[in-house]
A and B are shown apart, each in its own frame.
Chain A
Amino acid sequence: MSTLAAVAVDPPKIEYAELSPMLLVFGAAIAGVLVEAFTPRYLRKSIQVPITIVSLIGAFVLTVWLGLRGTRDAAAMGSVAVDGPALFIWGAILLLAVVSVLLINDDDQFVAQAAAVPGSADEDRAISEGGAHTEIYPLVLFAVGGMLLFPAANDLLIMFVALEVMSLPLYLLCGLARRRRLLSQEAAMKYFLLGAFSSAFFLYGTALLYGFAGSVDLAAIAKSLGSVAGQDSLLFMGAATLAVGVLFKIGAAPFQAWKPDVYQGAPTPITALMASGTLIAAFGALLRVFWVALGNLDTEWIPVLWAVAILTMVVGAVLAITQTDIKRMLAYSSIAHTGFLLTAVVATGNAGQNAGALSGILFYLLAYGFATVGAFAVVTMVRDAGGEAGHLSRWAGLGKRSPVLAGIFTLFLLAFAGIPLTSGFFGKYAVFSAAVAGGATALVIVGVVTSAMAAFFYVRVIVLMFFSDPAPEGPTIAMPSMGTAAVVTLSAAATVVLGVFPQPVLDLAHSAAQSLFVR
C-alpha cells in the first residue's frame, strides 16, 4: 500500500499537435458516423462530402505546418514517429485521398443497398428509390486514418492496429460496387480472407519478435539485435512472418494474388484509393520494419528481398501481358511497379546512400500515385451498358471517339512505362540510380528488362486506342462530373509537371529523407 502511494504515476505524454493530422481525420470519421446515425437520409450526403473533403484538406494543411515547423519526433511515448518520411508520406496520402474522394463522390459507382441480394427485387427497389450508402465517406476516412498511422507507427502493436484500421474499411468498400456485384463481393471476400491471413502472420511475427527482444518498440528491437544472443530462431521466424504481413500489403510476389482480383472487383474509385494510398502507406511501414527494426540484420534480409524484388518485377510484367481487362492489367502493372520500388529498398548503405534511396522511393510513390489515380479516373469514364467497359477490346478506337481522353490515358501509360518527360521516368530514374549506387546493379538490369516487357502491354493499349478501328457498338464516354474532370486534369498536370520540372518535389523528398527515420 505504501509503495503504491510513494510512486507517482506519470501520465503518458501525448503530443497532440504532432498527431493532429491523424486526430483530425479520425475525428471527422467519428463525426461522419454520428451524421449517419442522427441526420435524415436526404441530408446525409450533403453533410458527409464537405466533412470528408474539408477534414482531409485540413489534415494536409496541418501536415504542411508540421513540416514547416521542422518536427522530427517520436510522439506519444515513442510509439508514433512523426519524422521527415512520415510527414512526406502523410502529405502524399492526404493529397491522393482528396483526389480519390472526388472520384468516390460520383454516385454511380456504389451500390444502392448493399444488403439487397444481387438481381433481387429488393435491389431493383433500392435503385428506383435512389438509395445510396453514405457510410462510404466515414469508412474512407477511417481507412485514410489507418493509412496515416501505418507508416508512422514506431512500434509493432501500433502498426498492427493501424493495419487493421486501414484494412477493415477497405474490405467493406471493395464489396460495394454498383455493377457486377457478385464480382465485387467475391473480391471483397478474397481480400478479407487473404488480408486476415496476412494480418495473422504479422501478429505472429510481432509476438515472436517480442519473445526475442522483450519489446515491440522498433528501436528496442533494433538495439536488441546486438545484445540478445542464442535466440536466433525466434528472431528469424519473427522477421520472416512479419515480412509476409507487410509484403502482402504492398502486393509483392509471391503474395500478389489478391491484387488483380481486388482491383478488378472493387468500385473503381476505391481501387484508385487503394492503388495509390495503401501502396504508399504500406511502403512506409515496410521501410520502417526493415530499415529501423531490422536495420542491422540487413545482411540476412537483403538476399530475400532481392529474390522478392526480381520475382515481383517478372511476375507483374509477364502476367500483365496476358490480361484482357484494363483494371487487371493496371493491377499487374502495380505489382511490377512494386518490384521497381523494392530495388531501392535493398539499396542500403551509409546514411547518405539510405537517404538517397529513401528520397527516390518517396518521389516514385508520389509520381506513381498521381498517375494511378488519373488512370483509374479515366477508366470510370469509359462505359457501356453494363457499367465500365473493362474488357480491353472495348477500348479499340477510343482515340477516334474521344481523342482528348485517350490522349490523357496515353500520357498515364507512358508515365507507367517510364518514358522521359513524364513523372514515371524520373521516379524510375530515382530508384534505379539509388539501387546502382547501393550496389544492386544486377537488380536494376532485371528492372530495365522487365520495364521493356512492361512497355509492351502499355503500348498495346495505345495501339488499341489509336491504331485500331472502333468497335461498332463501342463504349460511350460518360460526360465527366466536375469531380472526375478535376481528378483527371490534376493527375495529368502532376504527371507532366513532375516529368518536366521535378526539382521542387525532389527537393522536398530529399529534405524529408535527409534525417531518415526517427529511432
Chain B
Amino acid sequence: MPWLSILMGVPVLGALAVAAVPKGNDRLAKQLTLAVSLVVLALTLAMAFQFDPAGPRDQFAEVYRWIPAFGVHYAVGVDGIALVLIALAVVLVPIVVLASWHDADRPDARRSVKTYFSLILVLEAMMIGVFAATDVFLFYVFFEAMLIPMYFMIGSYGGAQRSYAAVKFLLYSLFGGLLMLVAVIALYSMAGKNTFLFPELIGVIKDPTAQKWLFLGFFIAFAVKAPLWPFHTWLPDAAAQAPAGAAVLLVGVLDKVGTYGMLRFCLELFPDAAKFFTPLVITLSVIGIVYGAIVAIGQTDMKRLIAYTSISHFGFITMGVFAMTADAGAGATLYMVNHGFSTGALFLLAGFLIHRRGSHHISDYGGVQKVAPVLAGTFLVAGLSSLSLPGLSTFVSEFLVLIGTFERYAVPSIIALSGMVLAAVYILWMYQRMMTGPTAESVKALPDLNVREKIVIAPLVALLIGFGFFPKPLLDVINPAVKQTLTSVNVTPFAPAVPATAEKKGAGQ
C-alpha cells in the first residue's frame, strides 16, 4: 500500500474540496478541514504501527521516475527520524485547525476563510512530503514550494505588520534555498551518477574541498530555515505576525525541516566537511542558545518572546545534531518533536489570550490566573515544558543533548547549560507578569478557556506529560535511525580528530 502517497494525496484532495465549498458556508469548510486532518492523523497512526524500528532503513518506500532527463525520481520513504517528524506534523494540524476556528473570521482579513483552511491542508501535504522525500531534488521542491502557502497565511491573515513579515520570511528562505539549489546542481554533476536518489549519493563526493563547498550550500539554507544564529532575524517577525495557528506550524514543523536537513543531508552526504565545520556550528549553536534566551528575557511582546525562546532551543537541536554522538543525535531528534508540542502549546495559548484581550503586550495583562485559572494553568505547564522541567517531555531531550554533547565537547555543553537557567528566567518572569499579582482592570472580564479550546490544549498537555515520563516509544523509533545515520557519517576513512580549538572558540574566548 503506498502509504506515503496516500498521506500526501488525502490533504491535497481535501484542500481542493475545501476550496470548492460554496462561498458563505465557512462552517462547512472548517468542519471538512478538521475531518480531513483527522483522517490523515488516523492513517499516519495506522502506518506508524506497521513501522518496524529494527527493519530496513527506508520503509514504505516508493520510487517512480518523475523527470528522467534530470535523473529526478518521485521517491519517498521514512526512517525513524522522518516518521516521528511526520507524526509531529499530522498531530499538530488538526489541533491548529481547531484552534484557528475563528482566526480567519476577522473582518480585516484579506481573503476568505476557506482559503485559509485549504492552505493549511496544502501545507500539511508538503510537510509530509518534505520529510518523506528520499530524492534530494524532490526534497528541494517541497522545501521551496512549502514557502508559498505559509507566505499567504502570514501575509493575508497575520497581524499589523503582516506583509513586511511575510516578505522577509519568503526572501530569507528563498535566498537560502537558492544557494542550496546551486549545491544540489553541483552535487548532481559531481556525483555523475545521473540520479538524485539520496541513498545512492551517500559517500559519493570524496574530494574534501568539494564537500566543504557543497556542505556550505546546504547548511546555509538549513541554518536560515532552522533558524540558527545569525540567520534568525526573520523568525521573530514572522512568528509574531503570523496568526497563532500558522505560527505553530511555522515554528513547530517548518523550521524543523532545517534541523532535519542538517541531520539527514549535511551529515550523511558530506561527513568530512561536517566534521570540519563542527567547531563553527557548535559555536554558533551555543551563541544562539545564550543569545536567544537573553533576548527573550527582554521582549515585551509574548509571541516574539516565544519566537526567541525557539531560537535558543534550535541552538540545542543543532548542537545535538553536530555533536555526532548517539545520545546527542537521539536527543536532538526527540527535541524536534517535543519542541513542536511545547512551543505549539505556548503559541496557541498566547493566541487565545491575544484573541480575548486584543494585545500582544505582556504588560497589558496581569493576574489572569484569578479570572481564567485553566488558561493560566495550562500556560504554566506549557511554559515549564519550555524551560525543560523534569517530568515534562522536553527535559528528556534537552538532557540527552547535553549528555551527548558533553561526551565530546564539554565546554560548549557547560555554557549551553546556562540556557536552561535563562529559560527559567524568561518563562517564569513572563508568567509572573501576566498571570500573577493583582488582576489588571482590562482582563477582569477575561473568560476562561471554552470547550473547543480545552480540546485543543488537552492533547498537547497530555503529550508533554506522557512523553516526559515515558519517552521510550519515540526513542525506540528514533535510536536505530540515528545510529544508522552516525554509521554512515563515520564510515568514511578520513575521520580527522576534531581540533581542540573548538572548545576555546565555544567558550567565547
- Residue numbers in B under 8 Å from A432 (CB-CB): 181-182, 185
- Residue numbers in B under 8 Å from A441 (CB-CB): 182, 186
Which residues 125-162 of A sit at the B interface, judged by CB distance below 8 A?
Answer: none
Complex-state Cα separation, A445 to B170, whole angstroms: 19
Tell me the number of A-to-B contacts counted with CB atoms below 8 Å.
93
Q: Is the CB of B188 within 8 A of A433?
A: yes
Nearest CB in chain A: distance from B138 CB, A: 10
Nearest CB in chain A: distance from B173 CB, A: 10
Nearest CB in chain B: distance from A352 CB, A: 12
Among residues of A, the one whose C-beta sits closest to the C-beta of B192 is A437
Given A421-B141, A455-B174: A466 and B110 within 8 A (CB)? Answer: yes
Q: Is the CB of B171 within 8 A of A455?
A: yes
- Residue numbers in B under 8 Å from A419 (CB-CB): 144-145, 147-148
Judge if B360 is at the interface, Cβ distance under 8 Å: no
- Residue numbers in B under 8 Å from A303 (CB-CB): none
**Stretch from A228-236, A378-386, A503-511 at the B interface:** A503-511
- Residue numbers in B under 8 Å from A429 (CB-CB): 70, 181, 185
Give 1 or 0 for each of A485-519: 1 = CB within 8 Å of chain B CB. 00000000000000000110011001000000000
- Residue numbers in A under 8 Å from B152 (CB-CB): 466
Complex-state Cα separation, A502 to B141, whole angstroms: 14
Judge if B68 is at the interface, Cβ distance under 8 Å: yes
- Residue numbers in B under 8 Å from A237 (CB-CB): none
Give 1 or 0 for each of B169-194: 1 = CB within 8 Å of chain A CB. 01100110011011001101100000
**Stretch from A27-35, A269-277, A456-464 at the B interface:** A456-464
- Residue numbers in A under 8 Å from B141 (CB-CB): 420-421, 425
Q: Is the CB of B110 within 8 A of A467?
A: yes
Q: Is the CB of B70 within 8 A of A467?
A: no
Among residues of A, the one whose C-beta sits closest to the C-beta of B158 is A467
Judge if A448 is at the interface, Cβ distance under 8 Å: yes
Q: Is the CB of A467 within 8 A of B67?
A: no
Nearest CB in chain B: distance from A272 CB, A: 26
Give 1 or 0 for each of A398-418: 1 = CB within 8 Å of chain B CB. 011001000000000010010
Complex-state Cα separation, A432 to B185, whole angstroms: 8
Q: Is the CB of A506 within 8 A of B144?
A: no
Judge if A452 is at the interface, Cβ distance under 8 Å: yes
Complex-state Cα separation, A172 to B68, whole angstroms: 45
Judge if A451 is at the interface, Cβ distance under 8 Å: yes
Instruction: Count chain B residues whose beta carbon lies closer than 8 angstroms to a beta carbon of A.
Output: 34
Judge if A468 is at the interface, Cβ distance under 8 Å: yes
Q: Is the CB of A466 within 8 A of B69?
A: no
Complex-state Cα separation, A502 to B182, whole angstroms: 20
Q: Is the CB of B182 within 8 A of A444?
A: yes
Q: Is the CB of B188 within 8 A of A455?
A: no
Q: Is the CB of A467 within 8 A of B145?
A: no
- Residue numbers in B under 8 Å from A437 (CB-CB): 189
- Residue numbers in A under 8 Å from B185 (CB-CB): 429, 432-433, 436, 444
Q: Is the CB of B110 within 8 A of A506?
A: no
Q: Is the CB of A467 within 8 A of B69?
A: no
Complex-state Cα separation, A503 to B178, whole angstroms: 22
**Stretch from B160-168, B292-300, B315-323, B413-421 at the A interface:** B160-168
Q: Is the CB of B140 within 8 A of A420?
A: yes
Nearest CB in chain B: distance from A282 CB, A: 25
Complex-state Cα separation, A452 to B144, whole angstroms: 13
Judge if B356 is at the interface, Cβ distance under 8 Å: no
Given A455-B174, A463-B167, A503-B68: A421 and B145 within 8 A (CB)? Answer: yes
- Residue numbers in B under 8 Å from A467 (CB-CB): 110, 155-156, 162-163, 166
Nearest CB in chain A: distance from B74 CB, A: 11
Complex-state Cα separation, A462 to B155, whole angstroms: 10
Q: Which of A420, A433, A436, A459 has the most CB of B within 10 A?
A: A420
Given A420-B144, A463-B167, A466-B152: A433 and B70 within 8 A (CB)? Answer: yes
Complex-state Cα separation, A171 to B504, whole angstroms: 69
- Residue numbers in B under 8 Å from A463 (CB-CB): 155, 163, 166-167
- Residue numbers in A under 8 Å from B70 (CB-CB): 426, 429-430, 433, 506
Complex-state Cα separation, A23 to B223, whole angstroms: 58
Q: Is the CB of A459 within 8 A of B145?
A: no
- Residue numbers in A under 8 Å from B178 (CB-CB): 448-449, 451-452
Q: Is the CB of B186 within 8 A of A510?
A: no
Q: Contact size class for A? A: 35 or more
Judge if B27 is at the interface, Cβ distance under 8 Å: no
Q: Is the CB of A433 within 8 A of B174?
A: no
Q: Which of B66, B148, B175 is close to A414, meaning CB atoms less than 8 Å apart?
A: B148
Among residues of B, the one whose C-beta sits closest to the C-beta of A433 is B185
Give 1 or 0 for each of B357-372: 1 = CB within 8 Å of chain A CB. 0000000000000000
Given A399-B111, A467-B155, A467-B156: A452 and B174 within 8 A (CB)? Answer: yes
Which residues 142-156 of B sit at the A interface, judged by CB distance below 8 A?
Answer: 142, 144-145, 147-148, 151-152, 155-156
Q: Is the CB of B171 within 8 A of A459?
A: yes
Q: Is the CB of A452 within 8 A of B175?
A: yes
Among residues of B, the one whose C-beta sits closest to the C-beta of A464 is B163
Complex-state Cα separation, A510 to B66, whole angstroms: 16
Nearest CB in chain B: distance from A25 CB, A: 31
- Residue numbers in A under 8 Å from B111 (CB-CB): 399-400, 403, 466
- Residue numbers in A under 8 Å from B69 (CB-CB): 502-503, 506-507, 510
Complex-state Cα separation, A403 to B115, whole angstroms: 11
Complex-state Cα separation, A17 to B145, whole angstroms: 46
Complex-state Cα separation, A468 to B163, whole angstroms: 8
Nearest CB in chain B: distance from A104 CB, A: 33
Give 1 or 0 for each of B208-239: 1 = CB within 8 Å of chain A CB. 00000000000000000000000000000000
Complex-state Cα separation, A417 to B147, whole angstroms: 13
Nearest CB in chain A: distance from B106 CB, A: 14
Which residues 241-269 of B sit at the A interface, judged by CB distance below 8 A?
Answer: none
Among residues of A, the one whose C-beta sits closest to the C-beta of B186 is A436
Nearest CB in chain B: distance from A87 CB, A: 19
- Residue numbers in A under 8 Å from B66 (CB-CB): 503
Among residues of A, the one whose C-beta sits closest to the C-beta of B67 is A503
- Residue numbers in A under 8 Å from B189 (CB-CB): 433, 436-437
Among residues of B, the one whose C-beta sits closest to the C-beta of A437 is B189
Complex-state Cα separation, A127 to B294, whole angstroms: 71
Nearest CB in chain B: distance from A40 CB, A: 50
Q: Which of B142, B151, B171, B179 is close to A456, meaning CB atoms less than 8 Å apart?
A: B171
Nearest CB in chain A: distance from B177 CB, A: 9
- Residue numbers in B under 8 Å from A449 (CB-CB): 175, 178
Among residues of B, the one whose C-beta sits closest to the C-beta of A359 is B69
Which residues 97-136 of B sit at the A interface, judged by CB distance below 8 A?
Answer: 110-111
Which residues 105-137 of A sit at the B interface, judged by CB distance below 8 A?
Answer: none
Among residues of B, the one whose C-beta sits closest to the C-beta of A500 is B66
Complex-state Cα separation, A399 to B156, whole angstroms: 10
Among residues of B, the one whose C-beta sits closest to the C-beta of A414 is B148
Q: Which of A400, A403, A433, A467 has the most CB of B within 10 A?
A: A467
Q: Which of B110, B147, B155, B174 is close to A400, meaning CB atoms less than 8 Å apart?
A: B110
Complex-state Cα separation, A506 to B185, whole angstroms: 17
Complex-state Cα separation, A129 to B4, whole angstroms: 65
- Residue numbers in A under 8 Å from B110 (CB-CB): 399-400, 466-467
Complex-state Cα separation, A372 to B256, whole angstroms: 36
Complex-state Cα separation, A421 to B147, whole angstroms: 12
Supplied contacts A433-B70, A462-B155, A503-B67, 5 more A-B pairs, CB within 8 Å = A420-B140, A425-B144, A459-B167, A466-B110, A466-B156
A-B contact pairs, 28 of them (CB 8 A): A400-B110, A400-B111, A414-B148, A419-B147, A420-B142, A420-B145, A421-B145, A425-B141, A426-B67, A432-B185, A436-B182, A441-B186, A444-B182, A445-B182, A449-B178, A452-B175, A462-B155, A463-B155, A463-B166, A466-B110, A467-B110, A467-B155, A467-B162, A502-B69, A503-B68, A506-B67, A506-B69, A507-B69
Q: Which 8 A-B pairs have the closest CB atoms?
A: A448-B178, A467-B163, A420-B141, A506-B69, A452-B175, A433-B185, A437-B189, A467-B155
A positions within 8 Å CB-CB of B: 399-400, 403, 414, 417, 419-421, 425-426, 429-430, 432-433, 436-437, 441, 444-445, 448-449, 451-452, 455-456, 459-460, 462-463, 466-468, 502-503, 506-507, 510
